Structure 1
Amino acid sequence: MNQKIRDDYNASNTHVCTICNSESAPELPICNTKLLEDRLRRYEDETGQINDASTLKDRVSYLRKHRENHVSKAIINIEDSMSVDLCFVLDCTGSMSPYIEAAKEHILKMASYVNRNNSNIKFWVSFCGYRDHYNRSDRLQILDFTDSLEKFKTYITNKVTAISNNDIAEDVLGGLNAAITEMTWSNANRVLIHIGDAPPHGRRFNTNLTDNYPDGDPNDLTAESVLKKMQLKKILYFFGKINTSTDVMLNVFREIIGEFPVFDLMTMGYKPEVLVNKFCRATSSAIFSSITLTTTLRNSKSIYSLQRKKLQINPHEPDWTTYSVKTGKLLCCIPPKTLTEIKDEYYSMQSSFIEQEISFKLAPQPFSVGAERYAYFALDTSLGRTNKLVIKKYHDIKIGTIEKYLESVEISNIAHFFSTKFNTAAKRVGINKKVTFIDVRVLYDKTNNAYYSVEKYIDNAKFKKFNANSGLITEFHSILEAFAHFTYKYTEGYLVVYDLQGVDLHNEFLLTDPAIHCVDLLRFGNSNLGKSGIQKCFLAKHECNDICRKLELTNDILEVRWG
C-alpha cells in the first residue's frame, strides 16, 4: 500500500458513503479511512505485529517490513512442504492380494503423474503391512522411508504376500502404531495412507463380525492413544475404503481427530488396471491435499482445527420450507475499468457501491469448509425468485466487519477484469474456451447484523482445484496456466492471479476464490506472497505452453515500478 494519501482526496473534498450514508471531508472519506484502519489492524493481527506509531505513514512502513518477514517464512514453509514422507499402511490378510499388487504397481505411475507438472515435489516412501496377532512373526512387515521408488516396489514384490486369518477383525491399531512410532519421519510434510477392509479388534468397532479379541487390542492399544501419537508427530491421515466393514471404525477415528479424506477403492470384480488407477488418484490427491494444507495453514494445530470444523458440515441442501426469510442488502462494488485503477491501492476503498434489497434463506449448517471460510446453501427469494446462492463466511471474524469481505470482492473483480482481457486476446489467436470468474458481492444480513460474500450456485457441477498459490498444479490446463502468465505480463510484473479453482465446462472455466500475488504486500490478504510469490511460486515453476506462445508471452522477469 502506498504511503501517500492520494492528491485528489484533500481537505476540500466531501464524500457520501453509500454504506453508512455519512458525509465527511478528511484526507480519505471517513468510511474509507475506517476501512483502511480495519485492514491495517487485520494485517497487524495476522503478522502478530502491533505498532503504536501515530501516523499512517509510520504504521504502513512498519507493517510492510513485518509482512516481508512473514512472507519469507511462508516461502520457506512452501519449499519444505514439497518434500513428502509418504507411508502406506496396508492390511495384508487373505482378501487383500489385489490391493497389495496395486500398491506395488501404482507407485511409479503416481510419481510420474505428480512430477509431470510439479518437478519440485520429492518423495520418501515407506510401507507397513499388518495382519493379526494370530500370525505372530508375520503380524507386521516394515520398510522404513526410502527415496528409491524402485526399492519400494521391489520390497512389496519380493517380501509382501497376503496371509489368511481366522477372524474378521485385524491388528489395525498395531499396524498404525508401528507406522507412527517405528518409521523415521523426517520431512515437514507427512502423509499416512491407510488401506484396509476390516476394523480393529473390539466391540466399539464392530458388533456383527467375528473377533477373537472382543474386549479390544491385546497389547492395550487404543484408537485414542495411537491417533494422538499420530497428531503429535504432525502426520496427516488418509483412508482407502474397500467395503462398509470399516464404517464404524472411521466414525470412531473422526470423533478423535476430526474429518479426513476417504478414498473409494471399491471395485466390482478383480480389475487390476482399474484398481491401479484408483490407487494413483487417491495417492496423488493425498499428496496435493497435504501440500495445500501445510502451505495454507502452515502448522499442524491449524490443520487439526480445520479437521474438527469439517465435522460440522452437512452436504445436503435443506428443506427450504422449514426456514424463515431473512432480509438484507447486496453491495455490488464498481469493478475496475483500467490497469491504472487496479494498481491504485485505494481504489476499492474509495469506490461507491450499488445497493440492492434482497430477501433470502440461509442453511443453518455449512455444506463445505475451507482453510478460511465456511460455505452455506442459500436461496434468493426476492420478488418471487428462488435462485440458488452460495454464502461464504470467514471462520474467525467479528460480527459486522465488512473490510475483509470487500477485499475478497476486490480480488474477484480484478480477476474478472483480466479474464475479460485474456478472453479477447485468446479469441484473436483462435482459442475459444473462456476463463470466467463468478460474480461475487457482499451481503449485509440485517437480521444478524453480519456481512458475508455471496455468489451464484452452480448446479450439477464438479468443483476442482486446478492450482494453488504455492505454485502447486493439481490438474494441468494450458489455458489456465497461460491466463496466469497473461496477468503477469499485462500488469508488467505487478501481480499474478493464481490459485484457480472452479468448474471445467465445455466452453469455459467458471472460477471462484482466486488469490493474487502482488508486489504490494498490503493488498489482497494473507495469501499474497508478494514479489517472492510471483517469482518463486509462479515464474520459477511455469513452463510456457502453446497458448503462451500464441499470445507471445515470455517468461522474462519484469522489474516493476510502483508506488
Structure 2
Amino acid sequence: MQIAVDKASAKAPARNTTGLFKAVCSTDLLFLIDTTSSMKKYINEAKVKIEAIMTEIQRAFLGESIVRVAVVGYKDHCDSPNVQFLDFTTSFDDAREFLGSLKAKGGEGWTADVLGGIRQASNASWMQPTRCIIHIADAPAHSRALHDMPEAKDNKYYKPGSEPHGLKYDSVIPMLIELSINYTFLSIYSCTDRMVMAFSRIYDAAYADCKLLSDNKYYEPSSTSKKSASRGSSKRTYKYGTSESPQLLFQELEIGADVGLLQRLVLKSVTDSVTRTSNRHSMALSKVTTSARTPVRHTKMTKLQSMLSVVREDEDDIPKVRLDDSPPQWNSPGWLDKKWDLEGFCPEVVVYSESTLADMMASDDNIKLSFAQLTVHAHSTPFGQGGVRLASYARIAALTSRYVAKSFISSGSGFEQMIEDMRMQALCKAFALEFNGLVRPDQSLDFVVTASLQSGPDAAAGSEKGFVSLEPYLAGDYIKYNNNEFYVREDTPGDSFNRIAQAFSHFTFERSWGYFMVVDLQGVGNLFTDPAIHTKDPDRFRLNNLNWSTEGFKFFFAGHECNEVCEQLGLVSNRTMASAGEWEFRQHWPSMDPTICCSNKFCQSIVRLRNAKTSPKFPGYQWCEACWPQLQALTVRWICAAPGDTHEFDVCRFFYTSQGKVPPHKCPEHAGKDVTVTSTAAIGGSLWSQMKAGSKRGYVLGNEY
C-alpha cells in the first residue's frame, strides 16, 4: 500500500515553495490622499510616520518582504495641479520628501476629484504580489450616485460622468480589481458613507471580502448571508475568487480625528491584504482549475508572480443538485432513507506509548489503517454541495452517533490522497494525545477521524471510483482559528480556546523539533476537522496540497504571538528564530497525565485514562462517555448459524460495528473452530484491492476476521 502511495507522490508535480513567503508578503502600498485644505494634519501624520510604517511592515514579515510605497494626492478640478503623484519607491526619504511637498489647500467645498485620483493610482507601476491602497479622505466624490447631498452642493458635476475627465466610478473601480488591488478607506466623516458603499459593491461582485463600519448608514448586518444566497443563482461578473475563499479585500476602517491611529490601521490593512494574496497563491499551488489573469501593466511578471496571479475558474458549469436546507430529522422514522453497504478503511485506534508519536513522525509505515465493513443509512437528499462532493446526513447501523457522508458528484479519484489524509489525521491525533496530557482538562482538544469507503459494484471490482468519506457530524458554530497561510483568528479577551488552538500549532512544531506543524485548525467547540501539516521534509505528505514545507513555518510565526498557553508549555521557538532561520527547542518534556483514544474506530475521541470506561466483556478496550451507553444497550441474542443443536448467544452489535466488523453469526465456540477464512493474494489489481487483501484479516476478542 505504501509503495502505491509513494508512486502517486512521485508522480505528483513538485511544489517548489522556495521564496514563497517573501513573494507573498512583498507589498506595494499606495497612499491615496485628499489634499484639500481640511486634510493638513493627516498629510503631516503620513509624512512623520512613513518610515515607521514601512519598517514595521518589514518587521511583521520577518524582514523578508520588499515594501514599496507610492503616493497620490488629489484636490478638485478648480485646482492646479489637480493630481500629484509619486510612483513606487523603496526610499523612505523620497516618500517623506514628496509627502512634505503636498500642501493642504484648494477645493471648492463639499466634494473632490476622487475618481481622478483613483485613475492615477491605477496607472502606478504595480508589481509586488500584495497590493494595497490606503485612501484617506473627508469628502466624497462628485456625482449624485456617490453622496447624499443636494444638487446645490455639487452643482457642477452632480450628473454621473459630467466631470471634465468623464469618469464614472463603475468603470474606474474595476480597474483596481483587474490589478488585484486591495482597498482600505479610512473614514473621517459620515459624508463619505454612500461613496464607500458604492465602491464596495463593485468589489463585492468580484467576490472580495467587503467590510463596512457598523455605523456606516448603508451597513447591513446580515449582508453576508444575503449576498451568499443571491450569488448562487447569479452570473458572476469577475473570476477573481469565490465566496468561500475571497482573494481581494475592501474594508472601511475608522480614523476619525485621531491621526495617531494611522500607523496601526495601515499595518492591519497590509496584513489583511497579505492573507488574500496567500489565498490566491494557495489556489494556484492546489492546482484548482484556473484561468489566466489580465497581464499587469507597466511590468514584466516573474514566474512566481505569474503563478500568484492564477485564480479559480468560474464554477457555473458545476452541475447543481437540489439541496435539503431543512433541519436534520435524526429521530424521524424513515428519514434516513438511503442504505449503503460499504467497505473501506479508517485509521487504526492510536494506542499511546512513549514512542508512539516519535514512531509516527519517523515513517508513514507506522501510521496504520484498518479494513472496515459498514452499513450506513443516509438521507437521500444532500444538505451541502462543494466543488466536487455532496454532503448528506448519515448514521452507521447499530450506532446512534451522527455522521456526514460525502460522496463525489461524478466519478471520484485520488484514493492515494485519501489514504494520506487519513494518516495525517492520525498523526494530528497523536500530537493531540500528548498536548492534552500536558495541559489542563479544560484546555483539551481533539480531531475527527474520517473513514474512506466504497459501495456496490465499484468495491467488488476493485475500482477506485465512487468513494464515500464518513466523518462525525459537528453541530454548532463552525470557527476557523488559523490556516496554512497567514491567517490567525483575531484574539479577543473572552476567546480562550483561540489561544489554545494557536498554542497547539506552536506545540506541534516544537515537539517535533521543527519537522512538523499542524495548521488549518477549524471546527466546532474543541473538535477540529480537515487539518493541514507543514513538513520540513518536502516529500512527506506530498499529496497534501496545503503542505508548504518550511515556508509554511514562516507564515505561522509571522502571524503568531505567543500566549499564556505557549508559556505554560514552556515553548522556546519564536518569531525571531523564524527570521534568523536558527531554531532552539525545549529539551525535556514533563510526565503526562495519561490519555487514550476511544476504541470505537469511527469515534476515537481522546479521553483521559482515568475517565475511560471499561467492561470485562471486552478486555483491552476503552470507551468515551458517548460510546459507553451504546456499548451497554446494543446487545441482542442471535441463533448460532453453526450446524448442530440450535442454541443462542449474545452479540453486542455496537462493539463489532465499532471495530468495522460484521457481527458474527456463530457463537464464540463455533467461530473459533471455523477454518474457512483464507487470505487473498495481494498481487496486482488496484490499490483498493491490495489494501483490502493486506488489511482484512484481523482479530476481535480472539476471533479471526
Alpha-carbon distance in structure 2 between the residues aligned to 1:181 and 1:376: 44
Question: Structure 1 381/158 Cα, relative in aligned 2: closer, same or farther at 3 Å?
Answer: farther
1:179 aligned residue (113, 121, 124): 121
- Aligned-residue identity in percent: 17
* Residue 68 of structure 2 is aligned to residue 124 of structure 1: yes
Residues 333, 353 of structure 1: 8 Å contact kept: no
Partner of 1:16: none
Residues 110, 140 of structure 2: 8 Å contact kept: no
Partner of 1:420: 433
| Letter paired with 2:537 | V
Partner of 2:517: 497
Give the TM-score of the pair, scaled to structure 1: 0.61
Residues 122, 175 of structure 2: 8 Å contact kept: yes
Residues 405, 453 of structure 1: 8 Å contact kept: no
Partner of 2:271: 284
Q: CA deviation at 1:106?
A: 7.8
Alpha-carbon distance in structure 1 between the residues aligned to 2:407 and 2:164: 47
Partner of 2:182: 237
Aligned residues: 476
Q: CA deviation at 1:503?
A: 7.1
Question: Structure 1 271/449 Cα, relative in aligned 2: closer, same or farther at 3 Å?
Answer: farther
2:531 aligned residue (505, 508, 513): 513
Alpha-carbon distance in structure 1 between the residues aligned to 2:266 and 2:477: 26
The Cα offsets for residues 177-204 of structure 1, whole Å up to 9 and x where unpaired, read as 3223234x45444334456788877799
Deviates more, 1:336-345 or 1:431-440: 431-440
Partner of 1:261: 249
Alpha-carbon distance in structure 2 between the residues aligned to 1:99 and 1:381: 61
Residues 86, 192 of structure 1: 8 Å contact kept: yes
Alignment of 1:285-300 (within 5 A): 285-291=272-278, 293-294=280-281, 297=284, 299=305
Q: CA deviation at 1:86?
A: 1.6
| Letter paired with 1:237 | N
Alpha-carbon distance in structure 1 between the residues aligned to 2:279 and 2:34: 28
Question: Structure 1 224/481 Cα, relative in aligned 2: closer, same or farther at 3 Å?
Answer: same
Alpha-carbon distance in structure 2 between the residues aligned to 1:545 and 1:301: 35
Partner of 1:527: 546
Alpha-carbon distance in structure 2 between the residues aligned to 1:322 and 1:209: 53
The Cα offsets for residues 304-342 of structure 1, whole Å up to 9 and x where unpaired, read as 6249669x9xxxx98427999785679753354433245
Alpha-carbon distance in structure 2 between the residues aligned to 1:517 and 1:322: 39
Partner of 1:463: 480
Residues 294, 303 of structure 1: 8 Å contact kept: yes
| SS of residue matched to 2:412 | coil
| SS of residue matched to 1:137 | coil
Question: Structure 1 96/463 Cα, relative in aligned 2: closer, same or farther at 3 Å?
Answer: farther
Question: Structure 1 258/36 Cα, relative in aligned 2: closer, same or farther at 3 Å?
Answer: same
Question: Structure 1 549/482 Cα, relative in aligned 2: closer, same or farther at 3 Å?
Answer: same
1:344 aligned residue (358, 363, 367): 363
| SS of residue matched to 1:127 | strand
Residues 224, 256 of structure 1: 8 Å contact kept: no
The Cα offsets for residues 12-59 of structure 1, whole Å up to 9 and x where unpaired, read as xxxxxxxxxxxxxxxx4xxx776666x34xx635x2xxxxxxxxxxxx
Alpha-carbon distance in structure 1 between the residues aligned to 2:446 and 2:377: 25
1:411 aligned residue (424, 448, 455): 424
Residues 114, 284 of structure 1: 8 Å contact kept: no
Alpha-carbon distance in structure 1 between the residues aligned to 2:451 and 2:38: 53
Residues 32, 134 of structure 2: 8 Å contact kept: yes
* Residue 376 of structure 2 is aligned to residue 357 of structure 1: yes
The Cα offsets for residues 420-479 of structure 1, whole Å up to 9 and x where unpaired, read as 21231345xxx9634544555558799x946568565563465342x6458x87869886
Residues 521, 529 of structure 1: 8 Å contact kept: no
| SS of residue matched to 2:80 | helix
2:160 aligned residue (201, 214, 223): 214
* Residue 90 of structure 2 is aligned to residue 140 of structure 1: no
Deviates more, 1:152-161 or 1:384-393: 384-393
| Letter paired with 2:268 | R
Q: CA deviation at 1:116?
A: 5.2
The Cα offsets for residues 372-408 of structure 1, whole Å up to 9 and x where unpaired, read as x7999875688999979797999xx963544434433
Query: Which structure has more helix as a fraction of its residues?
Result: 1
Residues 192, 236 of structure 1: 8 Å contact kept: yes
Alpha-carbon distance in structure 1 between the residues aligned to 2:260 and 2:147: 32
| SS of residue matched to 1:129 | strand
Residues 83, 187 of structure 1: 8 Å contact kept: yes
Question: Structure 1 182/456 Cα, relative in aligned 2: closer, same or farther at 3 Å?
Answer: same
| Letter paired with 1:333 | P
Residues 102, 275 of structure 1: 8 Å contact kept: yes
Partner of 1:190: 131
Question: Structure 1 522/424 Cα, relative in aligned 2: closer, same or farther at 3 Å?
Answer: closer
| Letter paired with 1:181 | N
Partner of 2:311: 305
* Residue 335 of structure 2 is aligned to residue 334 of structure 1: no
| Letter paired with 1:191 | C
Alpha-carbon distance in structure 2 between the residues aligned to 1:535 and 1:181: 36
Q: What is the RMSD of the two structures over their aligned residues, measured on CA atoms?
A: 5.8
Question: Structure 1 114/202 Cα, relative in aligned 2: closer, same or farther at 3 Å?
Answer: same
Question: Structure 1 91/546 Cα, relative in aligned 2: closer, same or farther at 3 Å?
Answer: same
| Letter paired with 2:443 | K
The Cα offsets for residues 100-143 of structure 1, whole Å up to 9 and x where unpaired, read as 688678864796488357443443222223344x2442432323
The Cα offsets for residues 239-285 of structure 1, whole Å up to 9 and x where unpaired, read as 43852444344334533464532223258x75667787655533431
Alpha-carbon distance in structure 1 between the residues aligned to 2:67 and 2:506: 28
Question: Structure 1 537/167 Cα, relative in aligned 2: closer, same or farther at 3 Å?
Answer: closer
Alpha-carbon distance in structure 2 between the residues aligned to 1:354 and 1:100: 70
Partner of 1:44: 11
| Letter paired with 2:25 | M
Q: Which has the greater radius of gyration?
A: 2
1:320 aligned residue (319, 326, 336): 326
| Letter paired with 1:120 | E
| SS of residue matched to 2:311 | helix
Partner of 2:24: 81
Alignment of 1:154-165 (within 5 A): 156=99, 159=102, 161=104, 164-165=107-108
Residues 454, 466 of structure 2: 8 Å contact kept: yes
Residues 88, 128 of structure 1: 8 Å contact kept: yes
Q: CA deviation at 1:496?
A: 1.0
Q: CA deviation at 1:352?
A: 2.7
Question: Structure 1 479/356 Cα, relative in aligned 2: closer, same or farther at 3 Å?
Answer: same
Residues 129, 175 of structure 1: 8 Å contact kept: yes
Alpha-carbon distance in structure 2 between the residues aligned to 1:110 and 1:456: 46
| Letter paired with 1:433 | Q
Give the TM-score of the pair, scaled to structure 2: 0.51
Partner of 2:412: 399
Alpha-carbon distance in structure 1 between the residues aligned to 2:106 and 2:448: 53
Q: CA deviation at 1:521?
A: 0.5
| SS of residue matched to 2:277 | helix
Residues 28, 128 of structure 2: 8 Å contact kept: yes
| Letter paired with 1:142 | F
| Letter paired with 1:523 | F
Q: CA deviation at 1:535?
A: 8.0
Partner of 1:61: none
